[in-house]
A and B are shown apart, each in its own frame.
Chain A
Amino acid sequence: MNERGKAIGKDYGLTARMIFTGFMLALTYVALFGILLISGLPFELVIIMGIGMVFFQYFFSDKLVLKTTGAKVVSNTEEPKLHEIMERLSREAGIPKPKNIAVMEIDVPNAFATGRSPKHATVAVTRGLINRLNGEELEAVLGHELAHVKNRDVAVMTWASLIVVIAGYLMQMMFWMSLFGGFGGGHRREGGGQIWAMLMMAYVGIIIIYFVSQMLTMALSRYREYAADRDGAIITGTPQALASALQKISGQIAMIPEKDLRQVEHANAFFIVPALQGMSIASMMSSHPSTESRVERLMEIQRNNWHILSR
């Protein structure tokens, strides 16, 4: 942690929530293995496949993501500004400069970081992001991505999702088993009924574990986003610039109308106000927290630490 980070201190609430989510994820592992042992399912192959898949993701995620998104690695001569910012921010964060800096030639403003460690990291931004954001905002977004790299979020989330992968495979396996009589339905008269009931319970248990672990993984992902927002703000020293960039990226600013209030009053079309409130299912299953809550937290950091950040 840099000097500014030390002065601002940790967000203990966020750390506690991450630990709690990790603990709950560990419990789902215990529950899953309990079900597998009791049901006597041949799960070894599935677990090996799951681990193999996650290993593959862990080692090749950077190349995979670059291929699938069409992001092109850019040199210092091609994008000197991006390289200069990354060089400076990496120094500030105390990590090596990411191995690759890439640009996606699309107008949608966005950015991502991938790679299992700071040494193997790739940070990519879209052309739309470069065009829309001012220098300070672009730096804030790159600081956020660099915080993901520093916190090894790709590795953390890849391994955290292992249980979702395994439970997903098991669900599929049991689905096919149920279709082709693997649940012992054909032998129900010779005591197969008991086996069938047990396997059905195991099936239901695995489905529950799949959804619970998915929700926990998504919650963890949202907490990692908050942490990256916070750490990115500490690296750059400008939480409000990240807040402003998030608003531009999420398109909230684009929603502000051009019309004058008095014109609207005459048109009498002003009375419809969104009424949905509270936590929706969609928000629980989202990997990113809402822009609104991220901006609120960033503003809080700005307000509480303006004397440190302005140094």
Chain B
Amino acid sequence: MSFLKSLFSKTQKLTATEILEKLSSFVAIEGNLVTPETKAAILLSPDDQEFFNNFCSRVTHMMDQLEDPPKFTLNADDHGTKWIILEKYPFQSLVKTVDRVSAELSIQKVGDRMIAAIFKGRFKKEDTYWICNYRTSNFYPFVPQKETGSNRDHGIPEGSRSRNHEKEMELGKLFKLRGLPVEAPENWFALWDAPF
């Protein structure tokens, strides 16, 4: 049983397989609106476990053990969280890879340190993130707005960051329409400066 399956089956919601199938079919059906990227990430909140003290070597070793290991890079951010960025093509394989790596992390006893899986894609010509919250097993969109002249026209000061909420709502509805479990809007937390 995959990690996500065991995680999600406890909540009596959709199973991981169903969620992944829906994410893949969402991308397949909405092909004219969404274009996925070949990278996705797993976001981890480290604690004082040995795994995080030797994060690079432990993850590298873990990946080496996998059949058909994916390309990956590691990253850390100002919040103290760590990123495992995975690369695979096509999108269906990328989704399966995220599931496999999540399962491995669970075996390494850091499953409870996983915050979210983050997928990236273009929606109506705009960069968007599709965040799967591991705590609630729900998806939500995050659309960081590029700094443009029109931002300033709308009273958004230069250098400040804003989100395209209209596009997020639109994408959220699209997720829901295609059967993905969607987080309540009050939990659509930002994820600034994702390193991919």
Contact = CB atoms under 8 A, between A and B. Distances in A.
Interface of A: 240, 243-244, 247, 252-253, 255-266, 270-271, 273-274, 292, 295-296, 299-300
B177 A257 contact: no
A260 B136 contact: no
Interface residues of B, number: 33
8 contacts: A240-B170, A255-B185, A256-B186, A260-B79, A260-B189, A266-B79, A295-B173, A296-B173
Q: Classify the interface of chain B: helix, strand, loop or mixed.
A: mixed
Contact of B189 (A243, A253, A257): A257
Contacts of B165: 253, 256
A273 B136 contact: yes
B110 to A, nearest CB: 14
Interface in B135-152: 135-136, 138
A260 B186 CA distance: 12
Contacts of A274: 184
A263 B163 contact: no
Contacts of A271: 135-136
Contacts of A261: 43, 115-116, 131, 133, 189-191
Given A253-B185, A256-B163, A292-B176, 4 more contacts: A256-B168, A266-B79, A271-B136, A273-B138
Contacts of A266: 45, 79
B45 A299 contact: no
B81 interface: yes
A296 B184 CA distance: 16
Given A243-B170, A265-B115, A256 B185 contact: yes
Contacts of A292: 173, 176
B185 A252 contact: yes
Contacts of B136: 270-271, 273
Contacts of B80: 262
A300 B176 CA distance: 12
Contacts of B188: 256-257
Most buried by A among B168, B170, B192: B170
A262 B45 contact: yes
A282 to B, nearest CB: 18
